[in-house]
Amino acid sequence: MKISEIVKLLDAQVLCGEDQLEGEVKSACGCDMMSDVLAFVKEQAVLLTGLCNPQVVRTAQMMDMRCIVFVRGKRPPAEVVELARKAEIVLLATEERLYVACGILYTNGLSGGSVLHG
Q: What are the pLDDT digits (tens) for 24-78?
A: 999 898 999 888 888 766 677 899 999 999 999 999 999 889 999 999 999 999 9
CA distance 81 to 17: 10
Q: What is the mean pLDDT of residues 3-18?
A: 98
CATH code: domain of residue 93 = 3.40.1390.20
Structural domains of the chain, count: 1
User: 114 in a domain, yes or no?
Assistant: no
Contacts of 117 (CB under 8 A, 6+ apart): none
Task: Provide the pLDDT for residue 113.
Answer: 66
Task: Provide the pLDDT for residue 118.
Answer: 46
CA distance 15 to 22: 15
Range of the domain at 92: 3-107
User: 23 in a domain, yes or no?
Assistant: yes
Whether the predicted model's global pTM rises above the 0.95 cut: no
User: 118 in a domain, yes or no?
Assistant: no
* Gap between the terminal Cα atoms of the chain: 29
Show the CA angle centred on residue 110, arms to residues 47 and 37, nearest 5°: 25
CB atoms inside a 10 Å sphere around CB 77 = 11
